[in-house]
Structure 1
Amino acid sequence: MTRATLLANGKVVDGTGAPWRNGDVLLSGDRILAIAPPGQIDPHILVKLGEYDRFDCSNKVIAPGFIDVHTHDDAAVLDDPNMLPKLSQGITTVIVGNCGISLAPIVTQTPNAPLSLLGRLQFRHGSMSDYALAVNTAKPAVNVAALMGHTALRMRHMSDLRQPATEAERVAMSVDMQEAMDAGALGLSSGIFYNEAYAADVDELVAVASVAARNGGVYATHIRDELAGILPALQEAAQTAKHAGLPLVISHHKCAGPANWGRTRETLPLIEQLAMEQEIGIDVYPYTAGSTVLREDLVDGIIDILITGSQPYPGMGGRYLADIAREWGVSQQEAAVRLKPGGACYFQMREDDVERVITHPLSMIGSDGLPHDERPHPRLWGAFPRVLASYWREKGLLQLEEAIHKMTGLSARRFRLGERGVLDAGRIADVVVFDPGHVRDLATFEHPKQFSEGIEQVWVNGVLSYTSSGRGTGVRAGRFVRRTSTSDFHSIELS
C-alpha cells in the first residue's frame, strides 16, 4: 500500500486560477486527503495514517499535475512507458489521438503519413477498448486520455480518401466512434489539414462527431488552413461542432506563414464571437516553430525549415533545408521531395502572435511534440517549463495562477477530466512541486532531448514518480483515463 505523503509549507496554486496561498497538502492512496494552512491539518488524521512521508516545500509551488492537452504520445506510452520527456516537465496526464491521428482502430505493419507520425510499430489495436487495455497493461508513468482520430477512421473504412465519405462509410466510422466512446474516449479529433482527410466535408464530420456529442464528448480539430484561409477554416470548424452539438477545441492555434503574421488580431476576435454561441477552447505551444511531416507545399523559400528526420537520407536530420538544397544544387521544394518521407520543424510563426494566443483566456497549453522523430522539436521536452520561465517569470505576460490554470484546471474542464486538474480534497492526487525561481526549459532545436530545471517532484495517482535528483523513480502509476459524463460550464468568461 502506498504511504501517505505530506507536502508541507508550500505555495499552493490550486489550478482554478484563484490566488495562491501557503499551505500543506496531504496525499493518501490515489487521492488528496486534505489541504490546510501550514501546520493545521487535523492531527487526528495524521495519527490515523501512522507513518507518512514528509516533504518540506518551503519556497516551492505545489500545483496540480500538468495536463498536456495536445500530444502524439499514443505509441510512446507503450513503447517507452517511463515517459520521461513528459514526466520531467511536471506532466501527469497526456491527451493522445490529436489531429485526426490515433492508433485505434488501424491494424497495419506499414502505416502511411500522417499516421506514421506515431511511429511504425504499434498499429495493432483494432478498437479503443483494445488500446485502453494496452495502456493499462503497459502501465505508463503518466495517465493517458484518448481522442478517436477521424483520419484513422477514414483510412480504415474508406476505399478512396480523395472523396467525401459515402453514407455507408459514415455509418462504419460512426460504429467505431461509438465503440470508442463506450471505452471512455474523450471525443473525436480531426486533421483535415492533411491530404488524407482534406476531402472530408462538413456532413461527414458532423455524422461522426454527432456520435461523440451524444456521449458527452468534445471535438478537437487541426483546421483545414492555418495560412491565408484561416478565417473560413475557423468558421468551418465552429459550424461542424455546432451542428454536431458538442464543444470545440481548436488545435495549436497559429497564424502560419509571413503573409499571415499579425493576423491573430483577426482570428482571436472571431473565435471570441463564435464562443458567445458555443463552447470553444484553444490549445497552443510556446514556440514560433511547428513540426509535422515534410511537405513540399509548406516550403516557401522564406521561412527556415529544420529537418527532423528523413528515411532516404537519415544523415540530414538536424540540418536546414536551405543548406541541403544549396549543397545539392536544387530548389528547396525539390530537396523536400527527395527527403520524403520525413519530418521537419517549420519556423512559420511570429512571437507576438504566439504571445497573443498564450495570454488569451480561452487558451490551454499543449506540447504537440513528436516522440518518434529522430531529432524532435524541443517542445517534446520543454513546453510546460518554458511557459513558466518565459511567459510568466521573464516576460510577465501571465500571472502564475493564470499560467497554471492553463495547464491544469482549464484543461481538465475542457476535456471532461473531472477528478483531475485541481488541488482539492477528494480529487485524484496528480501533483507537481516546482521551484518558481528556477524552473525553465533547457531543450533547444540543436539539443532537443534535455531535462528541464526546477521540477522537483511529481506524483501520479498519489505515487512519487519523478524527482529532480533521481529523475524517474521507476515506479509507474499511470492509467487509461475515461472522460467524465458532464462539464460544469457551457462557456468560459472572456473578461
Structure 2
Amino acid sequence: MTSPTDHPDLIVRGARIIDGSGAPSFVADLAVADDRIVALGDLAALKGAREIDAAGRALAPGFIDVHTHDDRALLSDPAMACKASQGVTTVVTGNCGISLAPLGRDRPMPPPLDLIAAGPDSFFPDFGAYLDALDRDPPAVNAVCQAGHATLRAGVMDRFDRPATETEIAVMREHLEAALDAGAVGLSTGLFYRPANAAPTEEVVALVRAVAAAGGIHSTHMRDEADHVTESLDETFRIGREGGVPVVISHHKVTNAPNHGRTRETLPMIDHARETQPVALDVYPYPAGSTILNPDRLAGAARVVVTWSKARPDVAGRDLADIAAEMGCGLEDAAARLQPAGAIYFAMDEDDVRRVLAWRYAMIGSDGLPHDSHPHPRLWGTFPRVLGHYARDLGLFSLEDAVRKMTGLPAAQFGLTDRGTIRPGAYADLVLFDPDTVIDRADWDHPTLPADGVDLVMVNGRAVWEAGAATGARPGRALRLQSLGPKGGVV
C-alpha cells in the first residue's frame, strides 16, 4: 500500500524554511501531496511529480491577512491578485463592523457599508447564504468571515443616532447567533462610524456574549484613535472582559499630530490588559489610513487624497487641496461636493507605526479597500513591505519574526488549525519568495503594482500565483467557525 509521501505532487528542494513560529530558519526539502504538507527534511530519496530548486529562496506558510474588506471582492474578483501576489493565502473579512450578511436587500446601506457593497444586491439575507456563495464560486484564497455590528444594526433599526432598544438588541442577537451557527467566526464593530457610534458599550457586550458562547472572537475599529484613544482602549478591554471573548484591536494607531508618540502609552496599556484577558492587535505598515471621505475629519490630516467619488469619478487619486483650489472653495466644502467618496488621510507618525509593528503580539493586516478607484497602496503592498522594508532594510525585527506576525500568530489568534505553520500534516498554504529582493512596488501614485520577489504562492496545495501572474486556480475555502480551534492564542 502506498502513501502520499511515496509519490508527492511537489517537492521544493533546498529552501530556507521559515516555519511561522519565530524559530530560526533552516534549509530543508518539503513535499506536498493533495492539499497537505506530507514531508519535511532531506527528501533526496523521493521524487515529486513536480520539483522546484529553491536554493536562495525562503519558503514560509501562506500569509494570513487578518484585517481585510474583501467580502465582495472574493466573489467579484475571485483571482484575488491583490492578495495572492503578496503571498496572502487566507483573508479575514467582515471587519470594522461591516459585512455583506446578514442584511436584507430592502434595508438601508449607510456608509461605510458602501466601501464593500456596490448596492443592495450585494447583500445576503443570512450568513449561510453568503458562505454558500463562496463554496459555489470559490476564490483563490481562503476566507474567515465575521459578522458586522453595523450590518446587524442596519437590519433592525430605523435610524442609527441612538442606542438600540432591548427588543432590537434581542433581534440582533438572534441574527448574530444564526450567523455564528452558519460559520461566522465572530463579531466586528466599527464604533468610530456613524451607523454604530451611538451604540453604548452595553449594547456591544450583550452581542459579544453570544460570540463567547459560540467560541468566537471579537475585533474592533475602536470608537476613537485620536484624543480619546486611551478611553477607547478601556472600553475595548471592558467589552472583552464582560463579554468573555478574545478581542483584536483593529489597525492600532494614534492619529492627528497632537497624539503622535502616544503609542508609548497605548502599548503598555495593552500589555497590562493582556495579563488578565486575551487581547491582540493588527497593524498596517504605512503612516496613512483610508476610509470614507468625511468633511468633519480633515483637520487632523496633513494631506488628504481622494480614492473614489461617485459625484466626481475623475478626481480619484488627486489631493483634496488641489481639488478644492479648482472648485474655489475650502476643503470641507470640496469634500461635501464629492460625496459619497473615499480618501487617504496622512495623519499618523512613522515612529508610532514602527513601535506598533515591533510590538511582540502585533499581527499584520492590510485594511485594503479593493473597490476604490485609486486605492491605498496597502491593498497590494502590505506584506512585502513588512518583509522587505521593515525587516530586511530597517532591521526592525528578524525575517523569522516578520513571518510569525503574518502566519503562526494570526493562526493561533483565529484558531486556524493546521494553517500558519510548516510541518507535515499542515495545509499546503505556502509562499516561496526571495528574501534579498522581496519588496512592495505599490505606492501613492501607482497603488496597484504587484510586489517583487514573490515567486510562488500555493493555497491548499495548488498554485494561485506564479511567475508574476495569477494562475487561474481557485482552491480557496470558506473556513467556518465549526472547523476552527480555540481563539486568542499566541506563538
**2:169 matches 1:170:** yes
2:472 is matched with: 474
1-side partners of 2:90 and 2:10: how far apart?
Answer: 20
1:405 is matched with: 404
**Any idea what the Cα deviations from partners look like across 1:408-448, whole Å, max 9, x if unmatched?**
01011111112211111111110000000010000011111
| TM-score, structure 1 normalization | 0.95
Conserved? CA contact 1:61–1:433, under 8 Å: yes
2:109 is matched with: 111
Shift in CA distance, 488/207, structure 1 to aligned 2, threshold 3 Å: closer
Superposition pairs for residues 334-483 of structure 1, below 5 Å? 334-469=333-468, 471-483=469-481
| TM-score, structure 2 normalization | 0.96
2:74 is matched with: 77
- Tell which deviates more after alignment, 320-329 or 222-231: 320-329
2-side partners of 1:192 and 1:181: how far apart?
Answer: 21
- Tell which deviates more after alignment, 118-127 or 428-437: 118-127
**Any idea what the Cα deviations from partners look like across 1:313-364, whole Å, max 9, x if unmatched?**
1111111111112222211111111111100000010100000000001210
SS of equivalent to 1:373: coil
Deviation at 1:301, TM superposition (A): 6.8
Conserved? CA contact 2:30–2:43, under 8 Å: no
1:11 is matched with: 16
2-side partners of 1:280 and 1:264: how far apart?
Answer: 16
SS of equivalent to 1:402: helix
Shift in CA distance, 374/485, structure 1 to aligned 2, threshold 3 Å: closer
Q: Which amino acid aligns with 2:26?
A: R
Sequence identity of aligned pairs in percent? 44
1:22 is matched with: 27
1:227 is matched with: 226
SS of equivalent to 1:10: strand
1:99 is matched with: 96
2-side partners of 1:229 and 1:338: how far apart?
Answer: 29
2-side partners of 1:305 and 1:184: how far apart?
Answer: 38
Deviation at 1:486, TM superposition (A): 3.7
1-side partners of 2:337 and 2:126: how far apart?
Answer: 35
2:39 is matched with: 34
SS of equivalent to 1:197: coil
Deviation at 1:107, TM superposition (A): 2.8
Conserved? CA contact 1:321–1:336, under 8 Å: yes
1:159 is matched with: 158
Q: Which amino acid aligns with 1:15?
A: G
2:134 is matched with: 135
Conserved? CA contact 1:111–1:123, under 8 Å: no
Conserved? CA contact 2:8–2:31, under 8 Å: no
Deviation at 1:302, TM superposition (A): 5.1
SS of equivalent to 1:306: strand
1-side partners of 2:17 and 2:182: how far apart?
Answer: 34
- Tell which deviates more after alignment, 199-208 or 350-359: 199-208
Shift in CA distance, 274/428, structure 1 to aligned 2, threshold 3 Å: same
Conserved? CA contact 1:231–1:267, under 8 Å: yes
SS of equivalent to 1:196: coil
Q: Which amino acid aligns with 1:11?
A: R
Deviation at 1:289, TM superposition (A): 0.7
1-side partners of 2:43 and 2:102: how far apart?
Answer: 51
Provide structure 1 residue ranges, at least 5 long, that are not aligned to the other structure: none
Conserved? CA contact 2:21–2:404, under 8 Å: yes
Q: Which amino acid aligns with 2:321?
A: A
Conserved? CA contact 1:104–1:123, under 8 Å: no
Q: Which amino acid aligns with 2:177?
A: Q
Note the aligned Cα RMSD (angstroms): 1.7
Conserved? CA contact 2:441–2:451, under 8 Å: yes
Aligned length: 483
Conserved? CA contact 1:107–1:123, under 8 Å: no
1:277 is matched with: 276
**Any idea what the Cα deviations from partners look like across 1:242-264, whole Å, max 9, x if unmatched?**
10001010000000111111110
Q: Which amino acid aligns with 1:225?
A: D
2-side partners of 1:124 and 1:196: how far apart?
Answer: 17
* Runs of 4+ residues over 4 Å off in structure 1: none
2-side partners of 1:489 and 1:174: how far apart?
Answer: 22
SS of equivalent to 2:195: helix
Q: Which amino acid aligns with 1:13?
A: I
